Amino acid sequence: MLIRDARPDDLAAFAPIFRQVVDDGETYAYPEGLTDDEIRGLWFERPPGRTVVAVDDAGTVLGSAKMGPNRPGRGAHVATASFMVGAAARGHGVGRALGEEMLRWAGEQGYAAVQFNAVVESNTAAVALWKDLGFEVLTTVPAAFESRSHGRVGLHVMHRLL
C-alpha cells in the first residue's frame, strides 16, 4: 500500500467510495446523491489543505484522507481531517496508515493540534483507531447524528496535540 497526494484523475475511483460511505448512513453527515463535481469540491482540497489516496500495488484506490486547517484566520493553527476507506479494503490498516500520514503531515506543517469535529460515537472502529493514535474525546454532542441503523447517536469532538 502506498499513500500519495491525490490527483484529479483519482476522482473517478474515489467518488464511488464516497457515495458508498455516505449511503451507508453510519459515519458521515454529507448529503446523499452528490455528483462527481460536488464530491471533488467537498473532498479534493487545495492548499493549505491536502488530499491523499491510499492505493494498493496495482494502483487501485483503497481510501482517501483530506486534511487542512479546521478554521481559517485565527483558528488556522489547528488542523482537521476526514477519512474514507472503501468497504472492500476495511480491516487492513488503510485507515491507520492514512491517519499516521495525516499526523506526520500536520506536524511537518506546524499545526499545534488536530481536531475532529464529528466522529460518530457508534463508529467504534474509528473511535478506537483515533484513541490509539493519541486522540481523546473532548465531548460528545448528544443525538447529533442520525445513524441509519442506530437512530440518533452522539458526535464526538476528538482532539490531539502535536
Binding residues for a copy of itself (CB under 8 A):
22, 25, 28-32, 70-78, 112-113, 115, 117-118, 138-148, 152, 155, 157, 159
Instruction: State in angstroms the smallest separation of the CB of 117 from a copy of itself.
Output: 7
Q: Which is nearer to a copy of itself, 94 or 158 (CB)?
A: 158
Instruction: State in angstroms the smallest separation of the CB of 154 from a copy of itself.
Output: 10
Instruction: State in angstroms the smallest separation of the CB of 161 from a copy of itself.
Output: 8
Q: Which is nearer to a copy of itself, 11 or 118 (CB)?
A: 118
Angle at 155 between CA 141 and CA 42, to 5 degrees: 125
Q: Which is nearer to a copy of itself, 3 or 22 (CB)?
A: 22
140 CB burial (10 A radius; 0-12, 13-18, 19+): middle
List % helix, strand, coil for the chain (3-state, nearest 5).
35, 35, 30
List Cβ neighbours of 70 (8 Å cut-off, separation of 6 or more).
Answer: 76, 78, 79, 80, 115, 117
Q: H or E element: which one contains 95?
A: helix 94-108
Q: Which is nearer to a copy of itself, 77 or 96 (CB)?
A: 77
